[in-house]
Amino acid sequence: MVLKKAPNGKYDLDFSRGDLLLSDSLHNAVLLSLGCWSRDENIRDFANLNPEIGGWWGNSLDEVEIGSQIWKLFRQKLNSATAENAAEAAKKALKWMVDDGVAKEIDAEAAVDGVMLDLRVVVVKPDSTNEEFRWQINWENSL
């Protein structure tokens, strides 16, 4: 692994044998914000010693928390109400991007397609261009 300074002045980890290349891209920020489990809101002031409550332990060290609570929805039956809740959870998880000026606006939509939840996120960048991200979550295999 090599740490290389990118032209923008930030650093990238380069797994130079063709492995994963990590960057500070918008895609990675969205993916980590949605894919990491944020802590259950009812127990934010406790140390995360139990993975069942969600959250990365490092979030307890900072006021800004990354992650979403989409994980809590996995216990529910997949229907239009669950899809709507997933879209709202995605917007909430990505709100930090608007607060920090990374994005001007965040929009999220979710729909049910059989046993799949189709999640679509649109990030409106400060220059008013859009970047769209889509995922399908197999609800039967979520837990």
For residue range 2-51, list pLDDT tens digits in order.
445 556 654 444 445 444 455 557 887 888 889 887 776 666 555 555 55
| Rg of the chain in Å (alpha carbons) | 17
pLDDT of residue 117: 94
Q: Is residue 23 helix, strand or coil?
A: coil
Highest mean pLDDT (candidates 7-11, 15-19, 72-76, 91-95)? 91-95
Please tell me which residue, 28 or 131, carries the higher pLDDT value.
Answer: 131
Domains in the chain, CATH or no CATH each: 2-35+68-141 (3.10.450)
Terminal C-alpha separation, the chain = 33
Residues 67-75: what's their mean pLDDT? 87
b/e burial code for range 38-59 (CB count within 10 A of at least 16 → b): bbbeeeeeeebeeeeebbbeeb
